[in-house]
Amino acid sequence: MNSKMTMLTHDLETFSRQRGADLFGIASLVPAHDFIASGSNPFVTQFPRAISMGMQLCDGIVEQHTPNELRRHSLYWHHVYEVVTRALDFLAYDVARWLIGKGFKALPVPASTPYNFDKLEGVFSHKLAAHLAGVGWIGKSCLLLTDRFGPRVRLVSVLTDAPLDAGMPFDRACGKCHVCVETCPVKAFTGVEFRAGEGREVRFDVFKCSEYRREHPCGLCVSSCPMGSRRRHRD
Ligand code: SF4
Ligand code: SF4
Q: Round to whole Å and give the CA distance between 58 and 61.
A: 5
Average pLDDT over residues 30-47: 78
Atom of ligand 1 nearest to the CA of 224: 7
Ligand 1 center from residue 115 Cα (angstroms): 21
Ligand 2 center from residue 14 Cα (angstroms): 32
Q: Is the dihedral of CA 27, 30, 34, 38 positive or negative?
A: positive
Instruction: Give the model's pLDDT for residue 118.
Output: 67
CA nearest to 189, candidates 174, 204, 207? 204
User: What is the pTM for the complete model shown?
Assistant: 0.90
pLDDT band at 76; cut points 50, 70, 90: confident
Q: Round to whole Å and give the CA distance between 49 and 159.
A: 6
Position 162 pLDDT exceeds 80: yes
Ligand 1 center from residue 151 Cα (angstroms): 13
For ligand 1, whether the C-beta of 221 sits within 6 Å is yes
**pLDDT tens across 143-156, in order?**
999 999 999 999 99
Domain limits, the chain: 3-234
Residue predicted with more confidence, 51 or 31? 51
